[in-house]
Amino acid sequence: MYIPKYFKVTNEDEIREFIQLNSFGTLVTTKKGRPIATHLPMQLVQKEALYITGHMAYGNPQWRTFETAEEVLVMFQGPHAYVSSSWYEHENVPTWNYQAVHIYGKASILSDKELEQDLQRLLHKYENHRETPILWEKLSPVLLEKELKGIVGFKIKVEEIQAAYKLSQNRNEKDYQNIIEELHNEKDINAKALAEIMKNREK
């Protein structure tokens, strides 16, 4: 990923938090030279090394590319929005603000036990705060056995992380504040979310 110096992020804790908050990502591999992509909820897991984990339908042919793939790519994206140059003090061109993280690594298939553990973590993350959470232990063994047959779990050992936060860091203070205000005034929920991110990063 091309990252100008203004927008490069290297703080590992910050990147991990970003992935946790924007964990619906895109997994990219290749088959006979052609890119294949699947959009999936994934998790960041620290074991003896750092891993991205997830699962996909058994019928999805992408998991069969893991064995021969030297490297796979996972992309996570946060809120993004158009930035009008009419918001600047001086004449310039429009641009687009965004946050993105690319992860490269080696993929492999999870064992049955590892897949169950990963699904338990996934349910806990998205269900535990609910009034009537649907957790692993509440689901019937018959249903679980049936559903597990239809999916394949995977893990990707993280070998390289690239992170770009293009948030108008190269603008002067007056432009920066005006961009935040104008993004807040946009109807697009992505623009409003980006404004909050820019405001919080300023602090």
The pTM of the full predicted model, rounded to 2 decimals, is 0.92
pLDDT of residue 203: 57
| Cα–Cα distance, 153 to 58 (Å, whole number) | 9
pLDDT of residue 201: 84
Partnered with residue 163 across adjacent β-strands are 101
- pLDDT by 10-residue block (mean), the chain, 203 residues: 94 95 97 94 93 97 94 97 95 95 97 95 93 89 92 97 96 95 96 96 71
pLDDT confidence of residue 202: 72
66 and 153 in contact (C-beta within 8 Å)? no
Q: Is residue 23 within 8 Å of 45, Cβ to Cβ?
A: no
Q: CA 188 to CA 174: how far, in whole Å?
A: 23
Q: Are 45 and 54 in contact (CB under 8 A)?
A: no
Residue in this structure with the two tokens 């893991």, named with its chain if needed: 66
Q: How far is CA 125 from CA 48, 79, 117, 118, 155, in A?
A: 22, 21, 12, 11, 18
* Contact call for residues 45 and 117 (beta carbons, < 8 A): no
| Alpha-carbon span 170 to 6, nearest angstrom | 6
